Amino acid sequence: MCDFSLHAVRSRPAKVGDKLTTHNFNWAATGFCAPEDQGMAVCLLPGTEMSFADQVKRSATWPWTRTAIGYKTAIFRQINKDNRNTHHDALEFPSGEVILLTDLAEDQQATVLQLPAAPEKPKGKEVTAIRAERLVWA
C-alpha cells in the first residue's frame, strides 16, 4: 500500500519482477518508484517480499548514524495502523528489525520477488449455503 503521505502522488500496484528504486516524493515521504517514472509511486501489499541490489541503508541524519542495515532482503509491512497521524509503510528484515520506508536512503534498487497470496473467495452457491448454515445455528 502507499502511505497516507503519498495519496497526492500518482501510484500503481507492484508486480512480481518490478525493478524499483527508493525515492523521496516530498519533504517527508520516501517510497518506491519505477526508475523510468520517478513521479509515480509503486504501492506494495503487506507481505510483499523484496530483494535489494546491495545491503539496505538508512538515510544518514547525523554523521555518527549507522546507515548499513546488513541485509539485502526484506518483507514489506504496515505498522502503527492504530495511529493515523504517522507513517505506516515499513520493511522487516531477517533479524526481525523493522524500519520505516521514510528512514531509508534514496536511490536504492530493489526487485519485487513475491506478492502475498490473496485469499480465495467462496463461489456464489457456497456463500448462500454458508449463510443458510449460520442462520440455522444462530
Q: How many domains does the chain have?
A: 1
Instruction: Please check whether residue 52 is in contact with residue 63, taking contact to mean a CB–CB distance below 8 angstroms.
Output: no
Is residue 99 helix, strand or coil?
strand
Q: For residue 82, give Cα distances in angstroms to 30, 78, 79.
A: 21, 11, 8
Dihedral sign, Cα of residue 106, residue 15, residue 51, residue 120: positive
pLDDT in tens, 20-45: 999 988 766 889 999 899 889 999 99
Question: When comparing pLDDT for 55 and 135, which is higher?
Answer: 55
Question: What is the average pLDDT score of the chain?
Answer: 84
| Statement: residue 50 has pLDDT above 90 | yes
Range of the structural domain that residue 73 is part of: 4-137
What would the mean pLDDT of 4-12 be, rounded to a whole number? 74
Q: How confident is the model at residue 66 (pLDDT cuts 50, 70, 90)?
A: confident
Could you give the 3-state DSSP secondary structure of residue 126? Answer: helix
